[in-house]
Amino acid sequence: MTPEESSREQVLGGVYAFAAYFLWGFMPLYFLTLAPTGPWEVVSWRILFSLLFCAILLTVTRSWGKLLAILRNRRLVLWTVVAGLLIYVNWQVFLISTLTGHVIEGSLGYFINPIVTVLLGVLVLKERLRPAQWAAIGISVVAVLVIVVGYGAFPWIALLLAGSFGTYGLVKKQIGPSVDAVSGLTLESLWLAPVAAIQLGVVAATTGITLGTDGPGHTVLLLLAGAVTAVPLLLFAAGARRASLTVIGLLQFVAPILQFATGAWLLQEPMPLERWIGFGLVWLALVVLMADSVHHARRSRGTVIAP
């Protein structure tokens, strides 16, 4: 690949990644249009229609062979089961937060996610942290304490979102390139299909299924839940293969910024002083983390090219 082609691929990767984070950033608005459907039913349809959407993609791209090869590897199958359970927790908590007026707290979870990823590196991968990384973690802990004490509520939604998605990323790292994005989402949705069926049974026996009962527009929006789930993931996978980790790392804040703006200004969720202080501390921690990452990358590059 020529330097011009490599540069073009880098730019294209950044565009793909930005598109993925942009769509994720406005995801709460899409799910809010699904009212009166509740979070448990929405997640169930999201799982089942994601499975259908991925099956169509595998058929169109003639990629069933890749999926069958993965199924013959027990280790990969086990990791996809774990990934499925983690993304289920993430989706369910995200839908509960979105549909119960906690979009801002959901955005906090994705702001915290990079710090959780660093912490998982220490706890699971036994990585050694630099002083600035420890400082970022410490500031984040103080931020959570400020929110708990000052705002009077434990940010369980934010911590569950950050923890589940951070661990999901760790599992994906263990899988590596052995499982492509479409096959991975197909298997994760497949393992969750029985959970979705049970949830729909409970919803039908209690509040009632809303699919097809609230007009054609609402029905179409629910049917699109699979595509809405899969498209940003596929865009992200295409971007991650082309763009540098630095670009991906910087772009990951697009989604929580948009979610925060949606909750604070479009949905008018409350932002008392204590919550502003807590968010401010989290943003400070992220600045420290990003500055340290850039500084470390420059030093490493300088060491490599030094004579």
Q: What percent of the chain has pLDDT over 90?
A: 46
Residue of 138, 139, 143 whose CA lies nearest to 159: 143
**3-state per-residue secondary structure call for 122-165:** HHCCCCCCCHHHHHHHHHHHHHHHHHHHHHCCCCHHHHHHHHHH
Nearest to 26 by CA among 260, 239, 231, 276: 260
pLDDT category at 297 given cuts 50, 70, 90 is low
Question: Which has the closest alpha carbon to 196: 39, 96, 48?
Answer: 48
Least confident of 34-48, 78-92, 188-202, 276-290: 276-290
Quick: pLDDT tens for 168-205. 888 887 787 788 888 988 999 999 999 999 999 999 99
The whole-number average pLDDT for the span 92-102 is: 94
State the first-to-last Cα distance of the chain, in angstroms, to the nearest integer.
27
